[in-house]
Amino acid sequence: MKRADIVEFYARLAADNPHPETELAYNNTYQLLVAVTLSAQMTDSGVNKATRALFAEVETPAQMVAYGEEALRQQIRSVNFYNTKAKNVFALSQMLVHDHDGVVPENREALEKLPGVGRKTANVVLNSGFGHETFAIDTHIFRVCNRTDLAPGKDVLAVEAKLDRVTPQPFRRHAHHWLILHGRYVCKARKPECWRCIVRDLCAYRPKTPAPTDPRATDKDGTR
């Protein structure tokens, strides 16, 4: 995608949603870290359902340690891989208490040393929790970047590096959220909703999917 098109691409997304935010519910950076750690292979709404009662009781790493791993495990049973995730959240909470005075570090290297925290989770926390210009590449962003030709790459690291290079100011701070929301609700995996896409003329994807009211949108079995 040409630079002028990239600027226009982001400008339209920004005009449509000037203040994008994560759909995970949290009240502080620690709760954000926990929510993102639980979100792997889960919907944000599913995570929010599991953490609603938990976050009413637990706001800090010290409170999580006091809460206990077994109580945490029972509270998040609706989350995929809850046993492993409970173990990681409890362990990272202990590490935050012992090594960081109970404060989530504003540092990628320190974040990635926490149990269950990889590069994507660290990027989300740095972006949403601390305002850093980071790009957390999930399946939605990977798809949008490759499908549109915004920042194509064979793997998540390649897409992240390319996205970092091509994304200009003033769009860097919120690029992650615009792209994930666009991929989640418009540029969907199975059938992108091109007919209502505000950047369709800038997108390299062919063929564009027609609107549901178009007879061509009817599947072979007569469904839509």
Which residue among the candidates 49, 101, 120, 219 is catalytic per the annotation? 120
Q: Which of 120, 141, 135 is nearest to 189 (CA)?
A: 141
Chain Cα centroid distance, residue 73: 23
DSSP three-state, residue 192? coil
* Whether 120 is catalytic: yes
Q: Which of 57, 59, 60, 113 is nearest to 88 (CA)?
A: 113
Task: Using alpha carbons only, give the angle 62, 68, 71 rounded to the nearest 5 degrees.
Answer: 130
Helices (H), 58-133: 61-67, 69-75, 82-100, 108-112, 119-124, 130
Q: Give dist(CA 142, CA 67) in Å, integer.
A: 37
Which residue among the candidates 16, 101, 138, 149 is catalytic per the annotation? 138
* Whether 16 is catalytic: no
Catalytic positions = 120, 138
